[in-house]
Amino acid sequence: MVIFTKKNKVQIKVMEENSKHATVDRREKILNMLSLEGKVYVHELSKKFNVSEVTIRNDLDQLESKRQLIRARGGAMKLEGNVAADIMLSDKNKLNYKEKARIGAKAASLINDSDTIILDSGTTTSEIARNISNIKNLSIITNAINIVNIVAQHQSVNIIIPGGYLRKNSLSLVGPLAEKNLRNFFVDKAFIGVDGLDSHTGAYTPNIEEAHLNEIMISIAKEVIIVADSSKFKRKSLAFICPLEKITTIITDDGISPEDQKRLSEKGINVIIA
């Protein structure tokens, strides 16, 4: 039996406080390294701070939860104003809602009766789903559970779900099964939501599997329509979706810079301001 004296309790408290300070100090140093180098690796940090890789992974997970970095395979990337993070859908819903609602309504106006379309996962594409009630004989292919819930109430809409496994951050189905099934279709329009849009290079998303699925969506569509509020411009994310040449139309809000709008128009992209 262990008897805790007052002295023991004080010692334990001191040890706990020291551990907390060491953790805070280590995480601050990790952020400083990211600021200087742009990327850090778990195995290198483990050796540098003489702690286990499990401890380092926990540090990186905690810092990511506070949106201070982006977790990547084997380490982490610097989070800057021009890098989009993989944010929970419930948090995304709170960002730029008025702009997304206008963009969604404008995008829905491009859909014709009897069209077959793809609605990618995302908060802006879900606003498209809220505006399709007057469209007749519409077929929707979507990998987004939240969009399925929205369009399921419309009896005239045919819904096709490609399958896959669920990404909880985005409520989207991804993976080999989704990719294989999508390749069996061809659609009139693909509406793709993005987390980063660069008028020099193209479209980005934080998740590699979603980027690959988006590539397939784009390859089976007659028209590719990107829906993105202006906050998505001039920033990139971890995974590249497609170059500008693959995009037919971009629907955004009036926050887009004249330079970006001009550059996109010169590349033959139809830019619609909602």
CA distances from 196 to 62, 97, 153, 238, 270 (A): 24, 17, 31, 9, 18
pLDDT at 2 exceeding the cut of 50: no
Percent of the chain with pLDDT over 90: 56
Burial class for 186, CB neighbours closer than 10 Å (0-12, 13-18, 19+): exposed
3-state secondary structure of 5: coil
Give the pLDDT confidence of 10-60 residue by residue, as tens digits. 454 545 556 677 888 899 889 888 878 878 899 999 999 999 999 999 999
pLDDT at 169 exceeding the cut of 80: no
- Which pLDDT score, from 0 to 100, does residue 39 have? 84
Q: What domains, with CATH codes, occur in the chain?
A: 6-78 (1.10.10.10), 89-273 (3.40.50.1360)
- Which pLDDT score, from 0 to 100, does residue 17 have? 55
| β-pair type (239-243, 202-205) | antiparallel
Give the pLDDT confidence of 186-243 residue by residue, as tens digits. 999 999 999 889 999 999 988 888 999 999 999 999 999 999 998 888 777 778 999 9
3-state secondary structure of 197: strand
Strand stretches in 6-151, DSSP E: 39-41, 69-72, 75-78, 116-119, 139-142
* DSSP states of 146-190: HHHHHHTT-TT-EEE----EEETTTTEEESHHHHHHHTT--EEEE
- The strand pairing partners of 75, in sequence order, are 41, 72
pLDDT at 5 exceeding the cut of 70: no
The residue with greater pLDDT, 89 or 213, is 213
- Which pLDDT score, from 0 to 100, does residue 160 have? 96
What angle do the packed helices 53-65 and 6-37 form, to 10 degrees? 70
The two most distant CA atoms of the chain are separated, in Å, by: 79
Give the pLDDT confidence of 246-273 residue by residue, as tens digits. 999 999 999 899 999 999 999 999 999 9
The residue with greater pLDDT, 120 or 38, is 120
Three-point CA angle 44, 48, 54, nearest 5°: 65
For 3-12, 117-126, 177-186, 232-241, which range has the lowest pLDDT when averaged over its residues?
3-12
- Which pLDDT score, from 0 to 100, does residue 218 have? 97
Look up residue 123 and give its DSSP letter. Answer: H
Averaged pLDDT for residues 140-150? 94
